[in-house]
Amino acid sequence: MRTSQFPLSTIKETPADAEIISHKLMLRAGLIRRLAAGLYTWMPLGLRVLRKVENIIREEMDRAGALELLMPTVQPAELWQESTRWAQYGPELLRIKDRHDREYCYGPTHEEVITDYARRELSSYKQLPVNFYQIQLKFRDEVRPRFGVMRAREFLMKDAYSFHIDQASMQQTFNQMHATYSQIFTRLGLKFRAVAADSGAIGGNTSVEFHVLAESGEDAIAFSTASDYAANLELAATIPASDKRPTATAKTKLVDTPTQKTIEEVAKHLKLDAKRCLKTLLVKGAEQEAVALVLRGDHSLNEIKAAKLPEVAQPLSFIDDDQIKALTGSPAGFIGPKDLAIPVIADYAALQVADFVCGANQVGKHWQDMNWERDLPLPKSADLRNVVEGDPSPDGKGTLQIVRGVEVGHIFQLGEKYSKAMNATVLDEDGKSVVMQMGCYGIGVTRIVAAAIEQNNDAQGIVWPKPIAPFQIALLPINMHKSQRLADAVNGLYTQLVDAGFDVLLDDRQARPGVMFADMELIGIPHRLVLSEKGLDEGMIEYKSRDGNVDTKLPLDNITDQLRGIILD
């Protein structure tokens, strides 16, 4: 490709709206342009990257025996009503009506459509297992689209759905997809981690997320320093302390905290560490009006864990101020676990605090030097909080570290969730009708592009991982317009490289060298060749790698073989 026919749309100034580095660079390098909130046009240069990502995914899915198909983006409401998700899904589901006033949605995912397809097409166990996939646009009406294509409303996703006669088969394909995903992200040249996850709205049991590690990631991942354990922070477990509970050393007293309501204020007022304070949160109970959850002051409630407790009403919700007052006799800010008429559940860590401070259920009062068992009964304990750095790993090996990541893949074992609701059955060996087991496996294709930049950039711009760079080689002639000899040589070289199978971008603009260098670095082409008259005289061409590791001169003779060595390295 020549820049005269493949115009670069680079911009020097950083767009005002862009917050994170990948978004800024994607706009500056001319990969995407915004159409409306969360909607982006992929420009020719950006699309080349997107296609390369797609192709790697496609190759690995095909290699794993999955079958590609393509389902519509617009889906009839009936299918969603059948799976009951029409009612479950909130405003994130974009609902539309056609001219006949029939209801549809723009698909945020395709479980319903594929399950409908499978129940029509699959009738025998002999056709199983089978794994269908597509690379298709999705639309999710995000509350707050941001960070460019990282959290866009419309995005490209690879989604696969497998069908099985039994759980063992589902498990087998799940394991295979786990391996396939690892292979895909490895081939894409990304630093990633597979982590245990919550399955969220898609439903089902076992699920594993794949995260590209990046500072700006929206998810926190906890992993063990000494084992393979890795989990989304939402799911990372804390374990009961093995040590004995510390013993009381002081006598309980009621202290004045006239205006101190938050843990921070109370701790400061009493000149104590927040770790010595316990906070009590009141949430709606499943049976009782409310349940008190007690946490150490420096810890934060994990709502997903709390919602799973049988005593707690789902979905988790906090009771309002009037109810707090009615139940405890005190407004929020002074609530404590002593003498409450509702169930009290304490986090494991909250039980390990002696001489603690807690609300006294009276305005302006807290208890100090309270102790479990001595001053109030030992409550039921549970894992209620988010893990923090340094917590012991739940598998008992090492301690937890926390890093941030961008979720780019998620694999689930759905089981019968959709197949049962939609009656997707096949006949088994005994001629008996059996509900199929399902797995589902997603990759955010557009998000991968942003994540790759997030992980690979410098002051000059993008430094693409080689497998997904829009071009492999930038060929830059110096003052070609002034020298016919140089023009001939460069054009010859270009043809030679293209014929050898390289993806080459020849900058044949009549631009100054500085402009060409800056543009090629911004768009992140991994290999740069510079040819000048002087170089021609010497029979040498300058080679520099975008990552800055190599900067040298190569003899022009036999250049394709030399490059093949460098590039395929």
Residues that bind RNA (CB under 7 A): 10-13, 15-17, 19, 28, 36-38, 143-147, 261-264, 279-283, 300-303, 318-319, 321, 324, 332-335, 359, 386, 460-461, 478-479, 481-482, 510-515, 517-519, 521-522, 530, 532, 534-535, 542, 544
For residues 165 and 178, give the distance between their C-alpha atoms in angstroms, rounded to a whole number. 20
Q: In the complex, what is the shortest distance from the CB of residue 285 to RNA, in angstroms, rounded to a whole number?
A: 12
In the structure encoding, which two tokens stand for residue 292, read together? Answer: 């008190």
Which of 464, 485, 402, 564 shows the shortest CA–CA distance to 50?
464
Kindly tell me which of 181 and 367 has the beta carbon lying closer to RNA: 367
Residue 30 contacts by C-beta under 8 Å, 6 or more apart in sequence? 8, 9, 10, 11, 43, 45, 46, 523
Q: In the complex, what is the shortest distance from the CB of residue 314 to RNA, in angstroms, rounded to a whole number?
A: 14
Q: How far is CA 188 from the centre of its chain?
A: 16
Angle (deg, nearest 10), helices 21-28 and 445-455: 100
Q: In the complex, what is the shortest distance from the CB of residue 224 to RNA, in angstroms, rounded to a whole number?
A: 21
Kindly tell me which of 81 and 510 has the beta carbon lying closer to RNA: 510
Which of 343, 356, 197 shows the shortest CA–CA distance to 275?
356
Q: In the complex, what is the shortest distance from the CB of residue 508 to RNA, in angstroms, rounded to a whole number?
A: 13
- State which H helix or E strand residue 195 sits in: strand 192-196
Kindly tell me which of 324 and 563 has the beta carbon lying closer to RNA: 324
**Under DSSP, is residue 123 helix (H, G, I), strand (E, B) or coil?**
coil
Q: How many CB atoms lie within 10 A of CB 240?
A: 13
User: What's the DSSP call for residue 297?
Assistant: T
Q: Which amino acid belongs to residue 208? A: V
Which of 73, 71, 167, 81 shows the shortest CA–CA distance to 422?
81
Q: In the complex, what is the shortest distance from the CB of residue 280 to RNA, in angstroms, rounded to a whole number?
A: 5
Kindly tell me which of 6 and 318 has the beta carbon lying closer to RNA: 318
Residue with the two structure tokens 């049988």: 310
Kindly tell me which of 13 and 101 has the beta carbon lying closer to RNA: 13
For residues 531 and 522, give the distance between their C-alpha atoms in angstroms, rounded to a whole number. 20
Kindly tell me which of 135 and 197 has the beta carbon lying closer to RNA: 197
In the structure encoding, which two tokens stand for residue 486, read together? Answer: 């140089």
For residues 56 and 440, give the distance between their C-alpha atoms in angstroms, rounded to a whole number. 19
Kindly tell me which of 386 and 413 has the beta carbon lying closer to RNA: 386
Kindly tell me which of 53 and 463 has the beta carbon lying closer to RNA: 463
- Which string of DSSP letters, residue by residue, matches 151-171? B-SEEEEEEEEEEESSHHHHH
Kindly tell me which of 159 and 347 has the beta carbon lying closer to RNA: 347
Q: Which amino acid belongs to residue 5? A: Q
Which of 321, 318, 312 shows the shortest CA–CA distance to 281?
318
Q: In the complex, what is the shortest distance from the CB of residue 404 to RNA, in angstroms, rounded to a whole number?
A: 15
Strand 356-362, strand 365-370: pairing: antiparallel
Q: In the complex, what is the shortest distance from the CB of residue 399 to RNA, in angstroms, rounded to a whole number?
A: 21
Kindly tell me which of 409 and 535 has the beta carbon lying closer to RNA: 535
Is the Cβ–Cβ distance between 181 and 159 less than 8 Å? no
Q: In the complex, what is the shortest distance from the CB of residue 24 to RNA, in angstroms, rounded to a whole number?
A: 11
Kindly tell me which of 300 and 433 has the beta carbon lying closer to RNA: 300
The pair phi, psi for residue 380, each rounded to 5°, is: -65, 145
Kindly tell me which of 430 and 557 has the beta carbon lying closer to RNA: 557
Q: In the complex, what is the shortest distance from the CB of residue 408 to RNA, in angstroms, rounded to a whole number?
A: 20
Percent helix, strand, coil in the chain, to 5, is 30, 30, 40
- Compute the chain's Rg from CA coordinates: 30
Kindly tell me which of 374 and 512 has the beta carbon lying closer to RNA: 512
In the Cβ-directed half-sphere of 323, how many Cα atoms lie within 13 Å? Answer: 15
Largest CA distance in the chain: 95
Q: In the complex, what is the shortest distance from the CB of residue 359 to RNA, in angstroms, rounded to a whole number?
A: 5
Kindly tell me which of 209 and 521 has the beta carbon lying closer to RNA: 521
Q: In the complex, what is the shortest distance from the CB of residue 435 to RNA, in angstroms, rounded to a whole number?
A: 36
Q: In the complex, what is the shortest distance from the CB of residue 541 to RNA, in angstroms, rounded to a whole number?
A: 9
Residue with the two structure tokens 């070289």: 493
- Reported residue count of the chain is 569
Q: In the complex, what is the shortest distance from the CB of residue 256 to RNA, in angstroms, rounded to a whole number?
A: 15
Which of 378, 381, 374 shows the shortest CA–CA distance to 249?
374
Output the CA–CA distances (angstroms, integers) from residue 378 to 137, 245, 307, 344, 369, in the order listed: 53, 11, 22, 9, 15
Q: In the complex, what is the shortest distance from the CB of residue 540 to RNA, in angstroms, rounded to a whole number?
A: 9
